[in-house]
Amino acid sequence: MKIDAVTIFPEYFSPLKLSLLGKAQEAGLVEFGIHDLRSYATNVHNQVDDTPYGGGAGMVMMPEVWGQALDKLMEIDSDLIILTPAGKRFSQSMAAKFSTASHLVFACGRYEGIDDRVRQYYQSKNFRVHEVSIGDYVLGGGEVASLVMIEAITRLIPGVLGNPESLAQESHNEQDYLEYPNFTKPATWRDISVPEILLSGNHGEIAKWRAAQAVERGKSNL
Ligand code: 6GU
C-alpha cells in the first residue's frame, strides 16, 4: 500500500519511522510519502489560507494550493481522505475497508478547514473522496488524526503484525465486544493475584472465562 499525506507540518509525521510502522515500511509492505503543502503555493508569500467568504472567525485553506498538490498525487485508484471534525466518524470497520486500498492520500486541513470546492472537484472527477473525523472533539489540524488512522489501517495489512492471532482476538473486532483483561508474571504483584483459572492449564475453561470477561467489559463501557 502507498500512503501519501499533505500537510503544512511534515514533522508531525516523524513517528512513522518508529515501531510497527517503521518495520512495515522497511519490509516494503507500506510506503509513506509526506508532502509539504507550502511547496505547492502559487503566490509569492507561500500563503495557504485566506479569510472565509461570508465572514466569520478563522481562516480557510485556499483551493488552488490543494489542487496543485493533489493533482500531483492522485492516481486512478487513489482514495482521498480529507480530515475534518465534520467528517464521518472513523471506526474499526472503516480501518478494515481502507486496509485493502492500494493508495491513500491524506489531506490534513488546519484552521477552519479546506475550501469545500476541493472535495467537490475530486468527487466530480470520480475519485473516491472521504471526509473523516476521529471523534467528537476539535484538534488543531488533521495531522494527529491522520496518524491515528494510518496506525489503525496499516496494522491490518497482512504481514504487518508479527502475530496475526492478536488481530483475531483483540478489542473492537467484528463482534464489537471488548477484549478480556491480560496478566503476565509474576503470579502475585503487590498482593494482587492473577485469576486462578488462568494458571489451571484448562484451555476450555480459560476460553469461557475470557469470553465472559470480555462481555462484562463491553457492557461496562456502553
Ligand atoms: Cl480529522 N480534524 C480536526 N481538526 N479535529 C478533529 C478531527 C479531525 N477529528 C476529530 N477532531
**How far is the centre of ligand 1, averaged over its atoms, from the C-alpha of 121 (Å)?**
22
Contact 180, 214 (CB under 8 A): yes
Mean pLDDT for 185-201 is: 98
| Ligand 1 neighbour 67 (Cβ under 6 A) | no
pTM over 0.85: yes
| Ligand 1 neighbour 58 (Cβ under 6 A) | no
Q: What does the pLDDT read at residue 46?
A: 93
Rounded Cα–Cα distance for residues 104 and 156 (Å): 14
Per cent of the chain over pLDDT 70 is 93
| Ligand 1 neighbour 141 (Cβ under 6 A) | yes
Rounded Cα–Cα distance for residues 184 and 128 (Å): 45
Does the structure show a pLDDT above 60 at 221?
Answer: no
Averaged pLDDT of the chain:
93
Does the structure show a pLDDT above 50 at 143?
Answer: yes
Does the structure show a pLDDT above 50 at 91?
Answer: yes
Q: What does the pLDDT read at residue 170?
A: 65
Least confident of 104-108, 114-118, 167-171: 167-171
Could you identify the residue written with the cell 471526509? 131
Contact 31, 1 (CB under 8 A): yes
Q: Which atom of ligand 1 is the closest one to the Cα of 141?
A: 4
Residue-wise pLDDT for 160-184, tens only, equals: 997 777 776 665 554 444 689 999 9
Mutate to test the pocket of ligand 1, among 138, 144, 149 (most ligand atoms within 8 A of CB): 138
Least confident of 104-108, 126-130, 163-167: 163-167
Rounded Cα–Cα distance for residues 83 and 60 (Å): 14
Residue-wise pLDDT for 7-55, tens only, equals: 999 999 999 999 999 999 999 999 999 999 999 998 889 999 999 999 9
**How far is the centre of ligand 1, averaged over its atoms, from the C-alpha of 134 (Å)?**
6
Angle between helices 19-26 and 143-154 (to 10 degrees): 60
Mean pLDDT for 142-169 is: 90
| Ligand 1 neighbour 136 (Cβ under 6 A) | no
Q: Please state whether 37 falls in left (phi above 0), alpha (psi between -120 and 50) or beta.
A: alpha
Mean pLDDT for 61-69 is: 98
**How far is the centre of ligand 1, averaged over its atoms, from the C-alpha of 145 (Å)?**
6
| Ligand 1 neighbour 138 (Cβ under 6 A) | yes
Q: Which atom of ligand 1 is the closest one to the Cα of 87?
A: 1
Q: Which residues contact 204 (CB under 8 A, 6 or more apart)?
A: none
